[in-house]
Amino acid sequence: MRIPIRVSLDHPEPLYHQIKTQLRALIMSGQLEQGMLLPSIRELANDLSCSVITIRRVYQDLENEGLLKTRQGTGTFVAHIEQDEKEKHKLEAVIRAMEEAIKIARQHQYDDEEIQKLFIQCLSKRERED
Amino acid sequence: MRIPIRVSLDHPEPLYHQIKTQLRALIMSGQLEQGMLLPSIRELANDLSCSVITIRRVYQDLENEGLLKTRQGTGTFVAHIEQDEKEKHKLEAVIRAMEEAIKIARQHQYDDEEIQKLFIQCLSKRERED
DNA sequence: TATACTGTATATATCTATATACACAGTATA
DNA sequence: TATACTGTGTATATAGATATATACAGTATA
């Protein structure tokens, strides 16, 4: 299976962090099921055009968080996570992102009415992913 | 004058980039007027509990963008920027932040209706800044 | 038991952030 | 008008984080 992760190099956020955040989202949202075998570090590194070491760091970090199980020579698997924990993570991640957007809008002196209007515009013009 | 900039160390975004983005917002939103003398690099570094070099990099980067003018021995000043350019930057920055939030919400399998509802909730519960 | 796949460890380059020492501009005052 | 002082930005050297290539070790299986 091909993992739908997108990274951007001109982003200020470190590469390993972008990948880690997106992979965590895929697991916590249930798009990757418990027990599933992930692509090998080499395969994913090749997909994302980055180094094997970067992917390894991501897998290792997520294993330390309890989201993955890795066995040398065999591969890396999605661990079991309680449904409660998944729901909690999802909501927190989304709210954090929204509060960040609101913070930036307010920094630019937009008032709440304008912010809401702009957001609904952004939401309705759905762009395609290629 | 004290510049209202907030940084967080546990953020994945580099320090100089956080500061640069916020200072740019203050200039582009008109909160810092043309010709205004900014705090010295030492003063701002002390305010934000970071190194003088980090602030220097921010001032230098923004000077290269044409937002600041700096004179050795004298200080760093806000440059003149066309109103059109300011408006353009403001809108782009805010829309970028909102699209990022929407992207994350969709990654977590929220549908547009839920996203809008959550956003309005976040917007209405205005938290105080200390 | 080859061999081709997994993850792992070591060494190197670049980016981020810092401390320290230096050079330039303005101002008070002897 | 010298001169000392305080403020400004600037340059060099160092430590840590991030990303890489390359070589190493464990596991499955033909």
> CATH number of the domain that B59 lies in?
1.10.10.10
- Output the pLDDT for position B129: 55
**Quick one: closest CA in B to A116, which residue?**
B120
Residue B18 CA and nucleotide C26 C1' are separated, in Å, by: 32
CA distance B44 to B38: 9
Q: What is the mean pLDDT of residues A8-31?
A: 92
- What is the distance in angstroms between the CA of the first residue and the CA of the last residue of chain B? 18
- Output the pLDDT for position B88: 95
Are B28 and B53 part of one and the same domain? yes
Are B90 and B119 part of one and the same domain? yes
Residues of chain B with pLDDT under 50: none
Count of domains for chain A: 2
Does the CB of A68 sit below 7 A from strand C?
no
Are B96 and B47 part of one and the same domain? no
Alpha-carbon distances, residue A88 vs A41, A81, B45, B85 (angstroms): 28, 12, 37, 41
**Contact status of A40 with chain B (Cβ, < 8 Å):** no
Are B52 and B99 part of one and the same domain? no
Are A68 and A90 part of one and the same domain? no
**Quick one: closest CA in B to A94, which residue?**
B105
> Are the beta carbons of B74 and A75 closer than 8 angstroms?
no
Determine, yes or no, domain membership for A1.
Answer: no
Residues 77-106 of A with CB under 7 A from strand C: none
Mean pLDDT estimate for chain A: 92
Alpha-carbon distances, residue A72 vs A4, A69, A123 (angstroms): 24, 10, 43
Are A63 and A91 part of one and the same domain? no
Determine, yes or no, domain membership for A130.
Answer: no
Q: What is the mean pLDDT of residues A101-123?
A: 96
- Output the pLDDT for position B110: 96
Does the CB of B76 sit below 7 A from strand C?
no
Determine, yes or no, domain membership for A25.
Answer: yes
Q: What is the pLDDT of residues A61-106, one digit of tens each?
A: 999 999 999 988 889 999 999 999 999 999 999 999 999 999 999 9
- Output the pLDDT for position B40: 87
Domain that holds residue A62: 15-78
- Torsion sign across C-alpha atoms A88, A54, A13, A49: negative
Determine, yes or no, domain membership for B114.
Answer: yes
Are A49 and A63 part of one and the same domain? yes
- Output the pLDDT for position A62: 94
Are B45 and B96 part of one and the same domain? no
Does the CB of B52 sit below 7 A from strand C?
yes
